């Protein structure tokens, strides 16, 4: 029995360490605003999908245990679908989904030391009718949230998800420098690929951004054996469903050398 | 601990159930009583006061419906949409009680999307056709009570197994019938069926060989004929310039014909 409070704190700290170790190998995901919407991109093995459609205007990327990702993904789709059915698609909001449902549930699972936590880190984006209404939101395994665009308009218009804090910080540093909010899709794809490569290269003692050539060299090495997985949420789509997957071939055709 | 407003279900197993089952579990979809014969000794009279039709032509499937909604002898609405888009390649046209029909269309639309999003693949055409059949079957208890009869037409483009357009009509119990050429349901449908049969056999061209403009002309003539004898069918309102709703399903998706174009063809070939 864990009776004393400090034991609980200790248990939580152990649990945090365990989960961080488990997630550390996760392949990064970048979500970037571009001229026509939001791009999700990662590189991975073909065996497992990592970017998903949640609802008309919401997409999700995730790293973690496939079983946990699946449970959270299905729960998010279920909530969004019933909300969209009983009210309207316009009433489905990422803010409410994350704040009122996912975050409390994930926090609850994480802190109840007798039950299993969710071994997953999620990245969501919701495309608005204008770029000012876009929302990028990250939900961690402990239910903590990081958002861009929740209060006022999004400032950075990008978000990253990675296995380690170092890797995520480096990717963010890189994107702050290289990301252009109204870039065309091929340019956004190139920046996203480089951000991914950088996040993947980063080790615990990488402090500074590597040279551009080194990043591209690493990217090409990885691309030789893996495939690009990407999807977009298009702003001015004629259909209500804004999510569209991009094929690997389509993406490779305009790779920058 | 109180559940948050949009609580996750701890016993969640989304993959195994379809969307209507999910709605029922959450109490969001009415469950029809068991069909036990007509209530109160009344004889069950099916009322489908409308006319909808669909036929295959050279450019895909054309689906058309008049715009009149009636309650008994009263016209309650003259701009009703009875030809509804369910997804990028599917149309459901409805004859019957609007409340039930629109709800069914809504459930169906969400079912297909829910399936695609959860299962990460598009539902097959056979699966879609069956989903509508199941909704009709589940609704039959209401039909036997004299409320909520729906007799739809379903038109879709099958991009997978054998790329071609497919057309189905249903009865109130949910039986599905695939047709090769045309389908019509609703109170004005006998006249429409007569016209389409005639055109297909003895017209200048078979229905499947018609161009888009020719197909639209025949659809307008058929609805106008139906409206001539059936008070529940709006046909073409010449004074109010209200035209039937016409949509086309093809490989490229669904196109809704603009009113100006329908008006033009009406002037040339019908009026």
* Residue B45 touches partner A, C-beta closer than 8 Å: no
CB-closest option in B1, B26, B113 to A82: B26
pLDDT at residue number B16: 58
Asked if B114 and A81 come within 8 Å (Cβ–Cβ), the reply is: yes
Q: B145 to each of B40, B44, B139, B142, B237, how far by Cα in Å?
A: 9, 8, 10, 5, 34
CA B176/CA B182 separation, integer angstroms: 14
Evaluate whether residue B17 is within a structural domain: no
Pairing between β-strand B83-87 and β-strand B74-77 as defined by DSSP bridges: unpaired
Domain ranges of chain A: 24-251
Q: Which CATH class is domain A24-251?
A: alpha beta
* Residue B27 touches partner A, C-beta closer than 8 Å: no
Evaluate whether residue B200 is within a structural domain: yes
**Chain B hits for A118, Cβ within 8 Å:** none
* Residue B202 touches partner A, C-beta closer than 8 Å: no
Give catalytic residues of B, as residue numbers. Answer: 50
Sole residue written with tokens 């190998």: A25
Do residues B87 and B75 touch, judged by C-beta distance below 8 A? no
The residue of B8, B20, B106, B110 whose CB has the most chain A CBs within 10 angstroms, and thus the best one to mutate to test that interface, is B8
Asked if B110 and A102 come within 8 Å (Cβ–Cβ), the reply is: no
Q: Note the ipTM here.
A: 0.91
Do residues A122 and A61 touch, judged by C-beta distance below 8 A? yes
User: Does residue B42 carry a pLDDT above 60?
Assistant: no
User: Does residue B3 carry a pLDDT above 50?
Assistant: no
pLDDT at residue number B209: 96
Number of domains in chain B: 1
* Residue A82 touches partner B, C-beta closer than 8 Å: yes
CB-closest option in B14, B26, B120 to A49: B120
Higher pLDDT, B44 or B28: B28
Evaluate whether residue B39 is within a structural domain: no
Do residues B91 and B253 touch, judged by C-beta distance below 8 A? no
**Chain B hits for A55, Cβ within 8 Å:** 117
Asked if A84 and B110 come within 8 Å (Cβ–Cβ), the reply is: yes
Q: Which sign, positive or negative, has the C-alpha torsion B155, B156, B162, B164?
A: positive
Nearest C-alpha in A relative to B112: A81
Q: Which of B33, B90, B49 is nearest to B187 (CA)?
A: B49
Nearest C-alpha in A relative to B15: A74
CATH of the domain at B90: 3.60.20.10
pLDDT at residue number B5: 46
CB-closest option in B1, B22, B118 to A82: B22
Q: Which residues of chain A have pLDDT under 50?
A: none
* Residue B8 touches partner A, C-beta closer than 8 Å: yes
Q: What are the DSSP calls for A103-141, one per residue?
A: HHHHHHHHH-TTSPPP-EEEEEEE--SSGGG-EEEEE-T
pLDDT at residue number B73: 82
pLDDT tens digits, one per residue of A224-244: 989 999 999 999 877 889 999
Instruction: Give residues with Cβ within 8 angstroms of B263, minimum separation 6.
Output: B241, B243
Evaluate whether residue B31 is within a structural domain: no
Evaluate whether residue B121 is within a structural domain: yes
pTM of the full structure: 0.89
Nearest C-alpha in B relative to A96: B6
**Chain B hits for A102, Cβ within 8 Å:** 8
Evaluate whether residue B256 is within a structural domain: yes
Buried b (16+ CB within 10 A) or exposed e, B155-181: bbbbeeeeeebbbbbbebebebeebeb
CB-closest option in B8, B23, B28 to A101: B8
What are B155's two structure tokens? 């038109």
Full residue range of the structural domain in which residue B58 is found: 46-269
* Residue A101 touches partner B, C-beta closer than 8 Å: yes
Asked if B14 and A52 come within 8 Å (Cβ–Cβ), the reply is: no
pLDDT tens digits, one per residue of B67-125: 988 888 888 888 889 999 999 999 999 998 888 999 999 999 999 999 999 999 999 99
């Amino acid at each position: 029995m864990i009776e004393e409070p400090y034991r609980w704190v200790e248990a939580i700290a152990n649990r945090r360490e365990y989960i961080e170790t488990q997630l550390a190998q996760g392949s990064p995901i970048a979500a970037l605003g571009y001229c026509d919407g939001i791009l999700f991109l990662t590189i991975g093995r073909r065996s497992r999908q990592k970017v998903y459609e949640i609802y008309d205007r919401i997409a999700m990327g995730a790293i973690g245990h496939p079983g946990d990702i699946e449970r959270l993904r299905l729960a998010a789709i279920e909530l969004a679908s019933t909300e969209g059915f009983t009210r309207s698609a316009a009433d489905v909001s990422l803010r409410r989904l994350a704040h009122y449902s996912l975050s409390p549930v994930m926090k609850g699972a994480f802190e109840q030391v007798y039950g299993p936590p969710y071994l997953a880190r999620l990245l969501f984006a919701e495309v608005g009718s204008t770029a000012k209404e876009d929302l990028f939101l990250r939900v961690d395994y402990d239910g903590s949230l990081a958002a861009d665009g929740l209060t006022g308009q999004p400032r950075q218009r990008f978000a990253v998800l990675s296995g380690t804090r170092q890797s995520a910080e480096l990717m963010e540093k890189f994107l702050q420098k290289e990301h252009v909010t109204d870039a065309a899709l091929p340019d956004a794809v190139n920046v996203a690929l480089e951000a991914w490569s950088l996040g993947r290269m980063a080790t615990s003692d990488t402090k500074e951004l590597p040279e551009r050539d080194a990043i591209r060299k690493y990217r090409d090495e990885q691309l030789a054996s893996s495939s690009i997985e990407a999807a977009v949420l298009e702003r001015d789509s004629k259909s209500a469903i804004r999510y569209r997957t991009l094929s690997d071939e389509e993406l490779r055709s305009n790779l920058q050398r | 601990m109180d559940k948050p407003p949009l609580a996750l279900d701890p016993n969640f197993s989304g993959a195994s159930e379809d969307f209507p089952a999910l709605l029922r579990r959450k109490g969001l979809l009415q469950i029809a009583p068991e069909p036990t014969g007509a209530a109160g000794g009344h004889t069950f009279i099916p009322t489908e006061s409308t006319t909808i039709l669909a036929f295959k032509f050279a450019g895909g499937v054309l689906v058309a419906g008049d715009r009149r909604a009636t309650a008994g002898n009263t016209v309650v609405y003259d701009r009703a949409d009875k030809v509804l888009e369910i997804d990028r390649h599917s149309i459901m046209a409805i004859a019957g009680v609007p409340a039930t029909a629109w709800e069914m269309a809504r459930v169906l639309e969400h079912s297909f999307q829910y399936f695609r999003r959860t299962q990460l693949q598009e539902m097959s055409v056979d699966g879609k056709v069956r989903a509508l059949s199941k909704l009709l079957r589940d609704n039959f208890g209401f039909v036997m009570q004299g409320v909520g009869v729906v007799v739809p037409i379903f038109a879709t483009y099958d991009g997978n197994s054998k790329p071609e357009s497919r057309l189905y009509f249903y009865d109130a119990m949910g039986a599905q019938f695939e047709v090769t050429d045309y389908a019509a349901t609703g109170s004005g449908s006998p006249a429409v069926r007569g016209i389409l049969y005639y055109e297909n056999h003895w017209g200048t061209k078979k229905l499947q060989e018609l161009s888009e403009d020719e197909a639209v002309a025949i659809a307008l003539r058929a609805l106008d004929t139906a409206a001539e004898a059936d008070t529940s069918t709006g046909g073409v309102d010449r004074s109010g310039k209200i035209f039937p709703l016409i949509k086309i399903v093809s490989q490229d998706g669904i196109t809704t014909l603009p009113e100006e174009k329908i008006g033009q063809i009406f002037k040339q070939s019908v009026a």
